[in-house]
Amino acid sequence: MLITGGSRGIGAATAVLAAKAGYAVAINYRDNAQAAAETANAVEAAGGEAWCVQADVANESDIMAMFAALDARFGRLDVLVNNAGVVDKKARVQDMTAERLTRMFTVNTISTFLCCREAVKRMSTELGKNGGSIINVSSAAARLGSANQYVDYAASKGAMDVLTIGLAQEVAAAGIRVNAVRPGLIDTEIHASGGLPNRVNDLAATVPMGRGGSATEVAEVILWLASDQASYTTMSFIDVSGGR
């Protein structure tokens, strides 16, 4: 299993559960080698094999190098989890710059397309491979729009949802299932990176279940989608949002 943005948050939680499920786990990270190493240690403590691979998924050459290294290390890919993503500071659309938008869609959307492209080449039964599963980590923001906060983030995740639908249809006959999870208010560091460290607590009252979720609660769904238990599930979206 290759997890982009696998060193923290939902990615790290997914890595640990994947280890418990018997996967060898490739943990992609951009620049926080220490966090990646800590996640690798947790994977190994859970009885799994961990391998950290540095790559900035905003850069196509980094993506290509990452997959080449994956080929050399494992020789196969069974599951891709497209988890890497960014948010930006709270802003209205009228104040967003082209630079901000380019970064948002490059990291959240274009990288997902490119990683899917490379995964399909390594999974497709039409290309002599063994099939596989792709799980895109979208967001409830794709449904909600995130007005007055980050419509650009929501739009980038909406594009990921369309990719999930289209790619699932393209590769269903090639042994590849493509699904997405849409987390809601999840307690991870991504909110602090967007300048809203207390966002989960501040908005908990807007969630029908009355609380934010945990990274592990999202990871459990990702592992189910990756498993044979979901063998007839593709082009599907599972909201992990407490009803929000």
Just list the catalytic residues. 153
Residues in CB range of 52: below 8 A, 6 or more apart? 7, 27, 29, 33, 36, 37, 39, 40
Residue type, 29: Y
Determine contact, residues 218/187, Cβ cutoff 8 Å: no
| Alpha-carbon distances, residue 238 vs 99, 156, 168, 196, 233 (angstroms) | 31, 18, 15, 25, 11
DSSP3 helix / strand / coil % (the chain, rounded to 5): 50, 15, 30
Residue type, 171: V
